Amino acid sequence: MTAQLSWQQEDETLTFKGELTRATVARAWGQRKDWYADGQERLTVDLESVEHVDSAGVAMLLQLKKYLMQRKCELAITNPSQQFDAIVEVSGGSSLLKHV
């Protein structure tokens, strides 16, 4: 079965659904410009419907944070799984990918 990732955006909240993994992040990353509007102060990424995440998914979110910071936009993570938190902790990104 092929890994699937979809997303839906409503206002300043981006909701991912499926797998945030090496197999799916390249396609998602190509759409990042659609997730941000000029002058936007915050983008909230909701991970509640993410069934599986790996280090590539975490790396994509770290790159998204960098991308947004260059545009003076804050990244907030909501509803992360224990798996996500564990990968972030092991990778040393806890201070960078804070969630609300």
SS (H, E, C) 40-88: CCEEEEEEEEEEEECHHHHHHHHHHHHHHHCCCCEEEEECCCHHHHHHH
Q: Which CATH class is domain 5-91?
A: alpha beta
Residue 21 confidence (pLDDT) above 90 = yes
Band of pLDDT at residue 50, cut at 50, 70 and 90: very high
- Structural contact between residues 78 and 45, judged by C-beta atoms closer than 8 angstroms: yes
pLDDT at 3 (0 to 100)? 83
Q: Domain map of the chain by residue range?
A: 5-91
Residues in the chain: 100
- Structural contact between residues 71 and 33, judged by C-beta atoms closer than 8 angstroms: no
pTM of the model: 0.90
- Structural contact between residues 24 and 54, judged by C-beta atoms closer than 8 angstroms: no
Of all residues in the chain, the percent with pLDDT exceeding 70 is 97
List strands edge to edge, sheet with 13-20. 5-10, 13-20, 42-53, 74-78
